Structure 1
Amino acid sequence: MSFSANALKFYIDGAWVDPAGSATLDVINPATEAPFMTIALGGKEDVDRAVAAARRAFETYAFTTKEERLALLRRVLEEYNKRFDDIARAVSAEMGAPLSFATGAQAWAGRAHMEAAIKALEDMDFEEQRGTSRVLLEPIGVAALITPWNWPLNQIVCKVAPALAAGCTVVLKPSEIAPASGLIFAEVMEAAGTPAGVFNMVNGNGPDVGQVMAEHPDVDMVSFTGSTRAGILVAKAAATTVKRVSQELGGKSANIILPDADFADAVAKGVLGCFSNAGQSCDAPTRMLVPADRHEEALKIARETAAGLVVGDPLDPATTHGPVVSDVQWGKIQRLIQTGIDEGAILVTGGTGRPEGLDAGYFVKPTVFGGVTPDMTIAREEIFGMVLSILPYDSVEQAIAIANDTVYGLANYIATTDIEKARAISRRLRSGTVQINYPDWDTFAPFGGYKQSGNGREYADYGIHDFLEIKGVIGWG
């Protein structure tokens, strides 16, 4: 099943069009290692065509009213909900995510971000009087949106929705590794009656499409989510035209479990949080910091929690975790697990190779390391798989120092029964997000990172502001 009759086309200027070239790519189901659809790969000519369409559309869309943009987003949400099950099945096929997770987390995320953008736009003012001056918030222009494979709908919608809410026009490049859900999303935009050129989509790889978008002189902003390495390349490509670059990049988040926490619950939830989405989340709590005198207890709880996971066929209702997305990711994870062993970390459970009984697919054993020190590779590099590092600490001050001792700054976690202590520690952690006691996901909170985890903020009104310019009209009266 290809999930879309338009897989060999691009959506440009309100129509499905043939690509300029003939390059294609087979999309692999990571649970079977077999291709399940073929997409067209674009190039510079396709990007030029899409950007030109977005530039033309901007001349009118930028001056639409807030009510007109709200009406469009509400229609998009309606059409998204009609295709909700299709989207979930596409994510399951392209990522290998268990169908329940693809439905309840992946497809749900797109819906939740659209709802948040609508609510934020309803409450937003785009003009403010300051003395005799008028401050205007105006759309920045044509936005190039480059999204990853690990949370495809989450990242597509939390870029497209705020961009359109701001009055921008967009060109989207979904990940070529997981493009099926992006194709369906483009069909949603078409069905919603999006004006021609306001939303465009071109499939392709990073060098041939993503970099061309980033350096394009008629693109005013790039919003990129992906690895820090790729983000640096995007920023360099964008620098020659001095366009705005918003980036959400890698992470190596610490999970500080304080001595007064409900220890069994906090450790178990930390393991599950790290392993959610097969460990493929940039803000996953991959470094668990525990009091040194309870280190052995933490290893036991983590081992028991990991033993309760079922890794296997995404379509089997009993499966809790599917494969990682590709052979490249699988190989990287295997190398890092072996590095952890070689550097002397305690292998609590898991290890290299596939789980028992799985001879095909990019499946990873849920792996927990104990006795990890801050200088070990597995404590410093983003692994992006089901690998948890447990680090002992001697004092809360030391735990805070370890948490901050990283080039990343996307998220941190605190588990405690003392909320005032958690609030005080959260102020000292150098990250864009701090989560206390594993709260529900909040699509109205700002999301983004410090340091090499990126710049800018996404979600709700924070996301809309990223796509706006600020104009001061002095002497307005």
Structure 2
Amino acid sequence: MRTLHKHYIGGEWVEASAFKLHDVTNPATGQKSGEMVLGTEADVDRAVAAAAKAFETFQFSSREDRLEMLENILTEYKKRLDDLAEAVTLEMGAPKSLAQKAHVPAGIGHLSEAIKALKSYEFFEDRGPTHIVKEPIGVVGMITPWNWPINQISCKVAPAIATGCTMVLKPSEVAPYSAQIFTEIMHAAGVPAGIYNLVYGEGQVVGEALSGHENIDMMSVTGSVRMGAAVQANGAKTIKRVVQELGGKSANIVLDDANLEEVVSRDTVAVMRNTGQTCTALTRMLVPHSRMDEAAAIAAQAASTVVPGDPTKDETTMGPIAHGEQFKKVGEMIQTGIGEGARVVAGGAGFPDGCPEGGYYVKPTVFADVKPEMAIAREEIFGPVLSIIGYEDEDDAVRIANDSVFGLSGAVQSKDHARAQRIAARMRTGMVYINGAAGDLSAPFGGYKQSGNGREWGDHAFADFLEVKSILGHNQGIG
């Protein structure tokens, strides 16, 4: 059993102010796998004080110093790849192959992109007599989720260090093991005391204390819309910057000239990746009404190739839902879809055959004949559930795609690349994938509307961690 009984504050592991524990559950079995201490407002105060003290000097660190720090972190990170993959599988149920090939390598990618961006990033600009400076915003509070835990930690910590900010991290209480290992990596890399701090705990205590703290200058959060709204409201008391990456209900517009067999097969399986617990998952597939039956049959066949089960087994391609509450919600949403009259062509309600008893397993599910007004077409399910929606023409497809409170991601599929580009330009979403394009860790990641604000990944992430100062008259008499 894993025990996380201490916070990391001021460069050392410290006792919590109150020894109250939270059980961590292995979603593959439903059994306790460890325990985590729950932080208090007093623990947050200590961590923020350590970060504020470190910021006094770290804000003036050189580009070279920060590059060396990031390089050292990357070196230590690479030493712990197996440990991180094992932790991710245990804490949130990712199949070991997915943990090894996607979850953990994402940390390498974000650290590497931050290093690359920092080498050439312009922190200064001259406009005649005025000198414009981009300075670190200060102490950053970070709240990270359970669905891609090490990805979200690394994509926040890397730009914070690159820009000279200090930080206090509250990882998800569902998936804290990878955060523990990441903190050990930071310590082994020799990150000076107070630059990085970790406080375990619950959102309503530690998260609230962070977002309302007068000495936290910025909050960077990833989670649900409800959580993001709560952090923003609490942060408004001190007018701090709040950067959010929240939910999604992304539309995948399959145009009438697309290769239906290829596209539907590929993208159905992609929705099931990470058990559907990905905010950018293309969970609304839009196809011409005339091709609904054909698309449904292809999707059903593709879903049948997904193998749910024990995430430690080689044959498993889809693990459990990460925790009990989410497991219950996904089951309820599948029942809602059935009740709304959507046609189940794969999966559906009930426990998948062959999965370990007690685990949080659901069937990879595909609904056809979904109407845009149905709950399964509008609400983020955050599970392995695909809704196939019919449309009349291009304009109707774009209208349906944009008729959402979310705007995180989207996709267009067409043999005519110029046509796909035109449709992509009309989609109100922060990211659009054309014809199965691969992900790009250097591209800005974030969304429109209730999917959040600000951008993560690569050099675009730096802007959120920086303040802009104009020094007028700085250059007078020069030249």
TM-score per shorter chain, which class? over 0.9
* Aligned AA (2:405): V
2:73 counterpart SS class: helix
Distance 2:474 2:423 in 1: 45
Match 1:19 to one of 16, 21, 24: 16
Q: CA deviation at 1:243?
A: 0.2
Deviation of the 1:204 alpha carbon? 0.3
2:400 and 2:273 mapped to 1: Cα distance? 23
In the other structure, the counterpart of 1:212 is: 209
Deviation at 1:330, TM superposition (A): 0.7
Q: Give the aligned partner of residue 166 of structure 2.
A: 169
| Structure 2 gap segments, 5+ residues each | none
Q: 1 CA distance for matches of 2:167 and 2:80?
A: 22
The corresponding residue for 1:246 is: 243
Match of 1:437 among 425, 435, 438: 435
Instruction: Report the Cα distance in structure 2 between the residues aligned to 1:456 and 1:183, rounded to whole angstroms.
Output: 27
How far does the alpha carbon of each residue in 1:97-136 deviate from its partner, in whole angstroms, 9 at most, with x for none? 1101011010011111111111111120110111111110
Q: In 1, Cα distance between the equivalents of 2:74 and 2:438? A: 22
Aligned sequence identity (%): 52
Secondary structure of 1:427's match? helix
Structure 2: distance between partners of 1:163 and 1:177: 24
1:99 to 82, 96, 99: 96
- Specify the code of the residue in structure 1 equivalent to 2:78: N
Partners in 2 of 1:320 and 1:406 — Cα distance?
30
Match of 1:395 in 2: 393
Three-state SS of the structure 2 residue aligned to 1:200 is strand
- Code of the aligned partner of 2:215: D
Give the Cα separation in 1 of the matches to 2:124 and 2:474.
Answer: 12
Residues 32-81 of structure 1, C-alpha deviations (whole Å, 9 max, x = no match):
11111111110100000000000000000000001100000000000000
Distance, in Å, in 1 between the alignment partners of 2:417 and 2:464 is 32
1:172, distance to aligned residue in structure 2 (A): 0.4
Two-structure CA RMSD over aligned residues (Å)? 0.8
**In 2, Cα distance between the equivalents of 1:400 and 1:179?**
40
Question: Is 1:446 matched with 2:444?
Answer: yes
Tell me what 1:81 maps to: 78
1:340 aligns with 2:332: no
Aligned residue type for 1:43: T
Letter in 2 for 1:446: P
CA positional deviation for 1:393: 0.8
3-state SS of paired residue (1:156):
helix
Matches within 5 A, 1:458-477: 458-477=456-475
Counterpart in the other structure of 2:225: 228
Residue 357 of structure 1, CA deviation: 2.6
Q: CA deviation at 1:138?
A: 0.2
Task: Quote the offset at 1:381 in angstroms.
Answer: 0.3
2:463 and 2:59 map into 1 onto residues whose CA distance is 15
Q: Which runs of 4+ in 1 moved over 4 A?
A: none
SS in structure 2 opposite 1:240? helix
In terms of mean alpha carbon deviation, does 87-96 or 431-440 score higher?
A: 431-440
CA deviations 1:239-271 (Å, max 9, x no partner) are 000000000001000000111111111101111
Mapping of residues 27-426 of structure 1, within 5 Å: 27-358=24-355, 359-426=357-424
**Aligned-partner residue type, residue 384 of structure 2:** M
| Contact kept? 2:272, 2:306, Cα under 8 Å | no
For residues 211-244 of structure 1, what are the alpha-carbon distances to aligned partners after superposition, in whole Å with 9 as ceiling and x for unaligned? 1100000000000000001100000010000000
Which whole-Å CA distance do the structure 2 matches of 1:391 and 1:431 have between them?
Answer: 18
CA distance in 2, matches of 1:323, 1:372: 25
Secondary structure of the residue that 1:85 maps to in structure 2?
A: helix
Shift of 1:371: 0.2
CA distance in 1, matches of 2:473, 2:257: 58
Shift of 1:476: 1.1
For residues 360 and 349 of structure 1, the distance between their equivalents in structure 2, rounded to whole angstroms, comes to: 23
The reply on whether 1:456 has 2:457 as its aligned counterpart is no
Between the aligned partners of 2:284 and 2:139, the Cα distance in structure 1 is 39
Quote the Cα distance in structure 2 between the aligned partners of 1:439 and 1:360.
38
Report the Cα offset of residue 315 of structure 1: 1.0
* 1:273 counterpart SS class: helix
Q: How many residues align?
A: 474
3-state SS of the aligned residue for 1:35? strand
> Deviation of residue 356 (structure 1)?
1.4
The farther-off stretch of 13-22 and 268-277 is: 268-277
Task: Select between 353-362 and 115-124 the one with higher mean Cα deviation.
Answer: 353-362
**What letter is aligned with 1:320?**
T
Q: What TM-score do the two structures reach when normalised by structure 2? A: 0.98
What letter is aligned with 2:175? A
Residue 157 of structure 2 aligns to a residue in which SS?
helix
Deviation at 1:296, TM superposition (A): 0.4
CA positional deviation for 1:360: 2.2
Amino acid corresponding to residue 277 of structure 1 in structure 2 = N
Identify the range of structure 1 (411-420 vs 82-91) with the bigger mean alpha-carbon deviation: 411-420
1:391 corresponds to which letter in structure 2?
A: I
Contact 2:321 2:361 in 1 (8 A): yes
Gaps of 5+ in 1: none
CA distance in 2: counterparts of 1:123 and 1:374, whole angstroms: 46
